[in-house]
Amino acid sequence: MLNSSLTQMGAALHAKRISSIELTQLYLNRITELNPALNAYITTNAEFSLAQARRADQLLANGKAQSLTGIPIAQKDIFCAKSWRTTCGSKMLENFIAPYDAHVIEQFNNAGAVNLGKTNMDEFAMGSSNETSFFGPVKNPWDNHAVPGGSSGGSACAVAARLCAAATGTDTGGSIRQPAALCGISGIKPTYGTVSRYGMIAFASSLDQAGPMARNAEDLALMLNVMTGFDERDSTSLQRDKEDYARDLNKPLAGLRIGLPKEFFAEGLAQDVAGCVNLAITEYQKLGASIVDITLPNSRLAVPVYYVLAPAEASSNLSRYDGVRYGYRAPEYSDLTEMYERSRAQGFGAEVKRRIMIGTYVLSHGYYDAYYLQAQKIRRLIAQDFTEAFQNCDVIMGPTSPSTAFNLGEKGDDPVQMYLSDIYTIAVNLAGLPGMSIPCGFGSNGLPIGLQIIGNYFDEARMLNAAHQYQLVTDNHQRAPNNIGL
């Protein structure tokens, strides 16, 4: 059952071959056994999870079940879930119990899914390796000495290690796609605004987007069907009719035009990653797709633009954590100003402090025009590059990450090298486009490699179709780490 897809699990539940309580308990047992070594989960609550499983079994018995009813899903610890501890990977929120559900949590609750627990993440989603979490780093299940990627590393690890059926993540600059690639699973960041940010703790509001992480594209489509939808509580939520993201999964790929940006295959890309990506492109050609050479000339500026805009928004969003209303408060201080200073100094980790300082600097008088305003102009140019490219192709493909998973601690002393691990993913967030990563092979060290698929606005169904057809003729997504007891 642990290697079953969401569709197969749903069929087993509907046929009464297994109950939701049994399935949930199976995962809870695995979490108890494996999580101490992997550190994928921050919080679990068996009582809460099994209570949801009992309700799901009643829905199944009464014939009122939906596609995900009774299926155990892990939730990234960035989503508020009522009565659950919600930490965002930070000491600042170490003991925060959410008083309400995020829109994403509501959607899964309404679908009858079971919340298995809250997964570990880089503090306030700031990181590319899941090493900045106050609760310690997550280990890559393929190699416990390697990082799982970030910031959704806990979710990626949990899916890869079969500690959940699927999981949620968030993607501000690649934080769904990059850990999906490094852990050998599938993940998609939908078009900005299709999934509500209500109850999702903010990092950079114009970039943050929730999405699903699962073993294959078909599972991602089922998850997106639940997660998307208009929410009036989020001013950036788009008013669009609900759509079935699984509708085109079985369409043939004949005539699909795949754009290959020359910038994605330049210096800095590891040879084993390039080799696997090129083999995947060849497989697509066998499936009837054609190749179009394209250029994204401003994509080289995506990393510096991102590290102006994202910290600027973070410095504003994180100003609410002042030790007054909720969150960590320093135990000793002499006056109000010192309480602010000590609470923030003690409550935030080094990477969060670094980004707050950068953001405050670029927004300060005399630097706003020179940095922030210029970055916004280049952001528009990056989006225009994609618009022009999609006039000649249907999807864009390339590597998700420039290398396989690096070792824990390897890039901790060099923030720039850490930031460059998202070099192929950041431009997608700046443009608000949908992007996904699927497994396409393994590197010379035996670690997974991801193929990135980028689509035009609201073209998730086509992307999922392309991913699904590839996964029908390959088995990379079915491979599991050797050391997870399967």
Q: Which residues are catalytic?
A: 76, 151, 175
SS3 189: strand
Specify whether the backbone of 267 is left (phi greater than 0), alpha (psi in -120 to 50) or beta: beta
In the numeric block, the tokens 């399935």 are attached to 23
Burial classification of residue 57, based on how many CB atoms lie within 10 Å of its CB (0-12 exposed, 13-18 middle, 19 or more buried): buried
C-alpha 177/C-alpha 464 separation (Å) is 14
Q: In Å, what is the CA distance from 368 to each residue of 274, 317, 374?
A: 39, 17, 9
Element (H, E) at 79: none
Q: Tell me how far apart the alpha carbons of residues 148 and 156 are, in angstroms, rounded to a whole number.
A: 7
Euclidean distance between CA atoms 162 and 182, whole angstroms: 15
Full DSSP string of 80-100: --TTSB--TTSGGGTT-B-SS
Cα separation of 138 and 380, whole Å? 35
